[in-house]
Amino acid sequence: MSGIMAQPDDQKDKVIKELGSIRNVGPVIAGKLYVVGIRSAEEVLMGDPEAIYQDMQEKLGPGIDRCVLYVLRGARADKPWPQCSDSRIGQGPGPDGRRWLSGWRPG
């Protein structure tokens, strides 16, 4: 044989590496995206974050953290995921100049 054919695991690793190159997406979320059928960064970047998150919940169970939705929103908007939470959408930094999630403030 003159060439080596890519094994299925090699292809999976390649896709997960590509998905992991998306802003906010690490190897764990990339692996979950792969499991639900996402095969390219473009699918995430051009897709509807809410629909992808819902698909993940349906296929992987309701234990998928809501932060995954924020990660998907951030990937699409090219923003850090904390800026894409439900409580932060459309809001600027808090009075202390920082962006806090869900109204939490240091005590």
Q: Is residue 93 part of a domain?
A: no
Residue 87 lies in a domain: no
Residue 98: phi and psi, rounded to 5, are -105, 160
Residue 14 lies in a domain: yes
The pLDDT of residue 103 is above 80: no
Assigned domain for 91 exists: no
- The answer to the question of residue 100 being in a domain is no
Provide the domain count of the chain: 1
Domain assignment of residue 32, yes or no: yes
Q: How confident is the model at residue 6 (pLDDT cuts 50, 70, 90)?
A: low
Domain that holds residue 36: 8-65
Is the torsion defined by CA of 6, 10, 41, 61 positive or negative? positive
pTM for the complete prediction?
Answer: 0.73
Per cent of the chain over pLDDT 90 is: 64
* Nearest Cα residue to 13 out of 42, 44, 36, 39: 39
For residue 73, being part of any structural domain is answered with no
DSSP percent split of the chain into helix, strand, coil, nearest 5: 50, 0, 50
- Within-domain flag for 94: no
- Residue 29: closest CA among 9, 7, 11, 49: 49
